[in-house]
Amino acid sequence: KQEVTQIPAALSVPEGENLVLNCSFTDSAIYNLQWFRQDPGKGLTSLLLIQSSQREQTSGRLNASLDKSSGRSTLYIAASQPGDSATYLCAVPYGGATNKLIFGTGTLLAVQP
């Protein structure tokens, strides 16, 4: 059974810091991994999708890495801004031929001005 966990559960940093969010999964047989951002009470915004054949994926100040063999992914946020404050979730498709996502527990990020 696939389990996805994220560490830390919460993180508070001053503006301008570079930071790393961690995502771990127990079954390394994944096709891809998706990172999302969720503002309080709002929807899920897809940030990056990294395929199992890729090691890294970049979008602006965000960089996601994937190490299938160790069951880990990291989301690196450069030069953090207060507007980055949100909950960050990772998710992997799992279970049969469909693409249903199993989500991690999330990291609540607060960037202090």
Partner 1 sequence: AAGVIQSPRHLIKEKRETATLKCYPIPRHDTVYWYQQGPGQDPQFLISFYEKMQSDKGSIPDRFSAQQFSDYHSELNMSSLELGDSALYFCASTRGIAYNEQFFGPGTRLTVL
Footprint on this chain of partner 1 (rule: CB under 8 A)? 31-32, 34, 36, 41-46, 49, 89, 93, 95-106
Two structure tokens written together for 41:
């009470």
Q: Which is nearer to partner 1, 13 or 101 (CB)?
A: 101
In the complex, minimum distance from the CB of residue 92 to partner 1, in angstroms, rounded to a whole number = 10
In the complex, minimum distance from the CB of residue 44 to partner 1, in angstroms, rounded to a whole number = 4
Q: Which is nearer to partner 1, 18 or 45 (CB)?
A: 45
In the complex, minimum distance from the CB of residue 43 to partner 1, in angstroms, rounded to a whole number = 4
Q: Which residues of 18-56 are buried (b: 16+ CB within 10 A; e: fewer)?
A: ebebebbbeeeebebbbbbbbeeeeeeeebbebeeeeee
In angstroms, the CA 44 to CA 20 distance is 20
In the complex, minimum distance from the CB of residue 93 to partner 1, in angstroms, rounded to a whole number = 5
Q: Which is nearer to partner 1, 4 or 14 (CB)?
A: 4
Q: Which is nearer to partner 1, 40 or 113 (CB)?
A: 40
Nearest to 46 by CA among 17, 12, 75: 75
Exposed, middle or buried, 4 (CB in 10 Å: 0-12/13-18/19+)?
buried
